[in-house]
Amino acid sequence: MFAGLPELGISNGEDLKETLTNCTEPLKAIDQFQIENGILLPTLQSALPFLDLHGTPRLEFHQSVFDELRDKLMERVATIAEGKEEDRYGKLEELLEKSFPLVKMPSIQPVVMQVLKHLPKVPEKKLKMVMADKELYKVCAVEVKRQIWQDNQALFGDEVSPLLKQYIVEKEAALFSSDLSILHNFFSPSPKTRRQGEVVLKLTQMIGKNVKLYDMVLQFLRTLFLRTRNVHYCTLRAELLMSLHDLDISEICSVDPCHKFTWCLDACIREKFVDGKRARELQGFLDGVKKGQEQVLGDLSMILCDPFACNTLVLSIMRNLQELLSQDSLPRDSPDLMLLLRMLSLGQGAWDMIDSQVFKEPRLDVEVVTRFLPAMMSVVVDDHTFTVDQKLPGEEKSSPPYPTTLPDAFTRYLQENRVACEMGLYYVLHIAKLRNKNALQRLLPALVETYNDMAFGDIFLHLLTGHLTLLSDEFGSEDFCSVVYDGFLLTTFSSKENVHRHTLRMLLHLHQKVLPSHVETLMKTLEPPKQVGFISTFSLCFTWTGVVLIGGSTSS
């Protein structure tokens, strides 16, 4: 406990033991020991007997003096570090040399840690000693740990890894939340709110102003994105940069070539729309990538692959298409639309670009603009024509049946092109938001086969199930239930556990509206095999008139 005192020429318990062993008058020896090692203040000696009269133990007095002096010393260390003196760090290093031998003493340790914390460059020998001792490493300040981490990537990775796992768990928990609502969904929190999350704040603190640590985290995120294809790592990449931006960490923001692009895009995400002015700014950043610096496209594509960025881009595309339709204009004649498609394509190609290390913007298939978008607009026109016809007086109605098939170009591009597929999926969400049952029944079966099964991804299913709550009354119809469940959700049930979970989420919310006969069928279909321990990982309780169903078992 008192290791290190002899190195500083201060007596410890072993010295007292030796003195008492070898002396002939123990009481005199103790008095002499107290004089030599007590507080060296002559006037104090005559005052100490007064404490004895008040029954105050000497230990209590000395401890209170020690605590007060330690606090003053720690304040003085902070004051020196914040001062302007040229030799301020020299003074701290001198103090560190004197105090470091006592770093294991609990009472002195805070002083040593305070000195280490305020040294911009701790001597390497001391850093190695702290790193080698688990207890010291655990209690040292993050400012000291940064100096250790920057030369120990594996150790830094061990610290960061649990945070990255926690971040993914939190994102997935939000996607599988039992709360279904079109108003409060995965994309509802503002960028600023998301950056207040525990993981982002901790990573920001761990990085501080250290560019090397920031680069390490970015490399971890790229590696994990490549390994898992999980787009939430792209979200974290953007959130981390903007968190440092919020704190005005210019040491990092000024050297990240994606900073201004991400800042502008962040403003668009906040508004959930890319207006003309910001679109031109974003285009300027993309066009400004110089020859020899193409590698920055890898990071830009990751930032555009962020689901929050993708959501904003596709919502902006949908709004742009509606304006073009009202103006009788062609998609290819809109520069804003073409830029949005360019950014969406860059984001969708992030994984391929980073994996191949070929940093070149993917070429947008021109037929997405000339064939797919007109086909999608024809679906809009069909629906509009039918709606107008239904509002005409009886004698003027032509009464055509609502179309049930889709243009070949529409379904083909849903299956073959990821940019087209993303727009098609958001068009389905747009239709659900309008509570358009006829159009939804026409479109949903086409989503069974989409590019890379995008229609069965968690983000789309999370949004779709929330949007379908707007049509809750339609679930009393056999036809509508058949299209939603049999015609879409349950078509891949056996191979996709996540679809099972989203179906259960929606059933939990809408079971009172769904036809009882269909509920019974659904529960039998959704019941996991007995040999699969699925209930333990995702157990839901549905309660309605007289029946409780847990997982798939029933009891009255």
pLDDT tens track for 317-357? 999 999 988 888 888 889 999 999 999 999 999 999 999 99
**Per-residue pLDDT at 540:** 42
- Answer yes or no: are the C-beta atoms of 500 and 484 closer than 8 Å: no
**Per-residue pLDDT at 202:** 97
Q: How far apart are the first and last CA of the chain?
A: 66
167 vs 198: CA distance, rounded Å: 9
Lowest mean pLDDT across 127-136, 367-376, 488-497: 488-497
**Is a pLDDT exceeding 60 seen at residue 549?**
no
Q: With cut-offs at 50, 70 and 90, classify the pLDDT of residue 552.
A: very low
Provide mean pLDDT across the span 479-487.
92
**Is a pLDDT exceeding 50 seen at residue 223?**
yes
More confident residue, 258 or 398: 258
**Per-residue pLDDT at 120:** 92
> In which residue are the tokens 């968690």 written?
458
**Is a pLDDT exceeding 90 seen at residue 277?**
yes
CA angle 379, 382, 387 (to 5 degrees): 130
φ/ψ of 229, rounded to 5, equals 65, 15
**Per-residue pLDDT at 107:** 87
**Per-residue pLDDT at 488:** 93
CA neighbor of 33 nearest in space, from 17, 50, 55: 17
**Per-residue pLDDT at 553:** 37
Residue pLDDT, tens place only, 12-49: 777 778 778 888 888 887 777 777 777 767 777 777 77
Residue pLDDT, tens place only, 203-221: 999 999 999 999 999 999 9
Torsional class of 451: left (φ above 0), alpha (ψ -120 to 50), beta (otherwise): beta
**Is a pLDDT exceeding 60 seen at residue 372?**
yes
Both structure tokens of 125: 């020998």
Both structure tokens of 325: 């339709």
Provide mean pLDDT across the span 412-418.
96
**Per-residue pLDDT at 159:** 96
391 vs 245: CA distance, rounded Å: 54
More confident residue, 103 or 219: 219
355 vs 359: CA distance, rounded Å: 10
Lowest mean pLDDT across 351-355, 399-403, 404-408, 438-442: 399-403
Please report, rounded to a whole number, the percentage of residues in the chain having pLDDT higher than 70. Answer: 90
Lowest mean pLDDT across 235-239, 246-250, 256-260, 380-384: 380-384
Element (H, E) at 542: strand 541-544
The torsion angle over the Cα atoms of residues 374, 378, 379 and 381, rounded to 10 degrees, is: 130
Q: With cut-offs at 50, 70 and 90, classify the pLDDT of residue 531.
A: low
Q: Partners of 553 in the beta sheet? A: 550
Alpha carbon of residue 18 to chain centroid: 61
More confident residue, 32 or 228: 228
Q: With cut-offs at 50, 70 and 90, classify the pLDDT of residue 6.
A: low
- Answer yes or no: are the C-beta atoms of 387 and 379 closer than 8 Å: no
Q: With cut-offs at 50, 70 and 90, classify the pLDDT of residue 484.
A: very high
Q: With cut-offs at 50, 70 and 90, classify the pLDDT of residue 121.
A: very high
Lowest mean pLDDT across 207-221, 420-434, 534-548: 534-548
Q: What is the average pLDDT score of the chain?
A: 88
**Is a pLDDT exceeding 70 seen at residue 11?**
no
Provide mean pLDDT across the span 217-236.
97
**Is a pLDDT exceeding 50 seen at residue 134?**
yes
Distances from the Cα of 60 to the Cα of 55, 56, 66, 67, angstroms:
10, 7, 10, 11
**Per-residue pLDDT at 555:** 37
509 vs 521: CA distance, rounded Å: 17
